Structure 1
Amino acid sequence: MSLRVLQAGLLTTVQDGGRPGHAALGLGRAGVMDRPAWRLGNALVGNAGDEAVLEITLRGPVLVIERATRLALTGAPIDARLDDIALPPWTAVDAPAGSTLRLGGMRQGCRSYLALRGGIATEPVLGSRSEDLHAGIGPLGGRALRAGDVLPIGATPDLAPVRAVTVRRWGVDPQPWFDFAMTPIALLPGSHVDALDDDARRQLHGARFRLSASSNRTGSRLDGPALHLRAPLELISAAVLPGTVQLPPSGRPIVLMAEAPVTGGYPRIGQVAAADLPRMAQRRPGDAVCFEAVSLEQALARQHEREQQLHRLVQRVIDRGESR
């Protein structure tokens, strides 16, 4: 009935869609950083869609699967072996009870997702099983996994008996959902973009930044040219969201991510388009980050198109899984 943690990996957390609706309490949404990878992983294993998964950062854990289940790995390509069998990404695998899943490093990208049939069934906190490391809230107290943790798996009475590791003959093409080419990130103008000096305005959309090693689930810090304001601004704290680009006094932009606070007092010079937030979440320390300017209309059209494509693909995956 559970998943036992032998080694925790670099940073492995339980995540689902997060806990929206608590901003008035000062609590952000949190949840998975790469939502398409989460949704497609759940579809591959036959889940309803919102079950909790493991979000794995850069290097994965070693886990014992104590009850037979179906699993899938999505997001960043990760070295994975179930007992002695190498596992392909974005493909469902039936795992027998007692098998050991060893997850190593990622060849590209920053975050992989392990979906399990039935999902991780820890007790929800404020309607979510997500661990919010920034706020210290979640079923495990807002922390990452540790060796010795035992995580319950949801009931799956309709799953056929599994006697050996079985890799499905089909999977999902990751190409549309994982940014192998690391193309520019779409950026809308922020409330204070006009406060940037002329050089900073050119650099915001023309310079190449690098993701800092100090980045985390709260914010992606960018190294590169320092951006300067025409004159100092005196601001009161105002609402911010995942994707808000803030400019601290250092001049090094910070892109707020899944565990963003609900307010911030730094100048807001941009907003990453929602459709590109998963791509931003997959940049790892040292990766290049470039921005391209888009309008609100372009960002909304891109988000609508992506959601339509994702919905159709999720439904096709579910239908094909049920027919086998």
Structure 2
Amino acid sequence: MSIHVLKPGMLSSFQDLGRTGHQHLGVPVGGVMDSQAHRLANLLVGNEEDEATLEITLTGPTLRFDAPACIAICGAQLNPTLNQEPVPNNRPLIVRSGDVLAFGARASGLRAYIAWHGGIGLPTVMSSRSTYLRGGFGGFKGRALQKGDVLPVQARLDARDLDALARELWETKIYLPATLGLTHRATVRAVRGAHAPLFTERAIHDFFSGEYRISPQSERMGYRLQGAQLPLRSSRQLLSEATSFGSVQVPPDGHPIVLMADRQTTGGYAKIAHVATVDLPIIAQGMPGDTLRFTEISLEEAQQLDSQREAAFGRLHQALSPLRRLFA
């Protein structure tokens, strides 16, 4: 039971919630860029939230199914089609043997996530199935998909009445909280960083009031931003320290970099701010050339927003219990 890759897309790699616990060995956490879309896709097919999904970037792959499966697509709207017929995001979908999933022109966002009920058979490397592209390990053969790859699907739907299952899934009411959708926000919320006192008052003001453009030199490791330069009060050396997803570090040229999923394990640049976890998907879905504005919130506000998001996921998980029973 497998899936054939007819076209790989621009950059399609398997990711989960990351390879935690190994940064002290120099191994990055990695994982999905948009954890919200990833988790949602898994819930919609009855998986645990950390099951590996296929993260696709801008140009989606073309996949042929050799056996029935249940999939969900979340995140960016890349106009997916099944046998050349449009299919929606954010719904569980039944595919049959011989079906071909493809993607069209981008409508919004940058990264979409495909989850399979039961997941894809991938080896676990350091407690994760995420692909670390620079290191060449994890995921499917440690790399992005290539034409001709064959992906093993773990769960079988062969013995089921697929028409009845598809009908039941389609009739299942799914109320997606607004906080868990592909969010369009005018600003990105961020907490002032521990190194903020090292920057001039003007730099702090410019960061939280100016407009930044995502540079073409942006990828899974970090997003470089073009806009007002952010000078320090004085030149100084900092000890390297652990990095985290969403930290905004400022190298000597004064142009900020938002550290993303494949960030380095340590860094010595001053960090002016940290993006609130709930707003990281906004940046992950941003294209080079898109603009970002930052607004300051307190740590307590960021924690409250995170708690609200987790509560929304908890309610959705409970609401989808009838869906999970269909696969039991």
> What is the distance in 2 between the residues matched to 1:283 and 1:222?
11
Q: Is 1:236 aligned to residue 239 of structure 2?
A: yes
Please tell me the residue identity of whatever aligns with 2:258: V
Which residue of structure 1 lines up, in the alignment, with residue 63 of structure 2? 63
Residue 312 of structure 1 corresponds to: 315
Report the equivalent of 1:124.
Answer: 124
Q: Note the alpha carbon deviations across 1:174-199, whole angstroms, 9 max, x for none.
A: 74324543331111111221222222
For 2:206, which of 199, 203, 207 is the aligned residue? Answer: 203
Q: Secondary structure at the match of 1:106?
A: coil
Q: Secondary structure at the match of 1:37?
A: helix
Quote the offset at 1:139 in angstroms.
Answer: 3.8
Q: Secondary structure at the match of 1:76?
A: strand
Cα distance between partner residues in 1 of 2:216 and 2:234: 29
Q: Say whether residues 1:183 and 2:186 are aligned partners.
A: yes
Corresponding position: 1:22 with 2:25: no
Count the aligned residue pairs: 324
Distance 1:158 1:271 in 2: 47
* Post-superposition offset of 1:200: 1.3
* Contact 1:36-1:310 within 8 A present in 2 as well: no
Range 137-146 or range 222-231, more displaced: 137-146
Task: Say whether 1:162 aligns with 2:153.
Answer: no
Q: 1:175 to 1:134 in 2, by over 3 A?
A: farther
Moved over 6 A (4+): none
Deviation larger for 155-164 or 15-24: 155-164
In 2, the alpha carbon distance for the partners of 1:110 and 1:182 equals 15
Alignment of 1:33-112 (within 5 A): 33-112=33-112
**1:148 has 2:151 as partner:** no
Q: Distance in 2 between matches of 1:299 and 1:163?
A: 45
Letter in 1 for 2:241: A
Looking at structure 2, the residues matched to 23 and 320 of structure 1 have their Cα atoms a distance apart, in angstroms, of 37
Distance 1:317 1:277, change over 3 A: same
> Counterpart in 1 of 2:226?
223
Whether the 8 Å contact between 2:131 and 2:139 is mirrored in structure 1 is yes
1:250 to 253, 257, 261: 253
> What's the offset of the Cα at 1:158?
8.6
Q: What is the SS of the residue equivalent to 2:203?
A: helix
Contact 2:66 2:98 in 1 (8 A): yes
CA contact (8 A) 1:76 1:178 kept: no
Q: Which residue identity lines up with residue 197 of structure 2 in the other structure?
A: D
Cα drift, residue 48 of structure 1: 3.0
C-alpha displacement of 1:30: 1.0
Matched, 1:294 2:301: no
- Whether the aligned pair in 2 keeps the contact of 1:220 and 1:257 (CA below 8 Å) is yes
Aligned with 1:313: secondary structure? helix
Q: What CA distance in whole angstroms lies between the structure 2 residues aligned with 1:52 and 1:139? A: 8
Q: Please, what TM-score do these two structures have when normalized by structure 2?
A: 0.92
Partner SS state of residue 6, structure 2: strand
Asked whether the 8 Å contact 1:182–1:288 carries over to 2, the reply is no
TM-score, scaled to structure 1: 0.93
Aligned counterparts of 1:212 and 1:5: Cα–Cα separation in 2: 31
1:265 and 2:268 equivalent? Answer: yes
Give the superposition deviation at 1:171. Answer: 4.3
Q: Distance in 1 between matches of 2:322 and 2:245?
A: 33
Taking the aligned partners of 1:252 and 1:178, their CA distance within structure 2 comes to: 30
| 8 A contact 1:185–1:290 mirrored in 2 | yes
- RMSD, aligned α-carbons: 2.1
Where structure 2 has 5 or more consecutive residues not aligned to the other structure, the ranges are none
Compared CA separation, residues 33 and 85, structure 1 to 2 (3 A):
same
Letter aligned with residue 284 of structure 1: M
CA–CA distance in 2 between the matches of 1:159 and 1:21? 40
Structure 1 unaligned residues grouped into runs of 5+: none
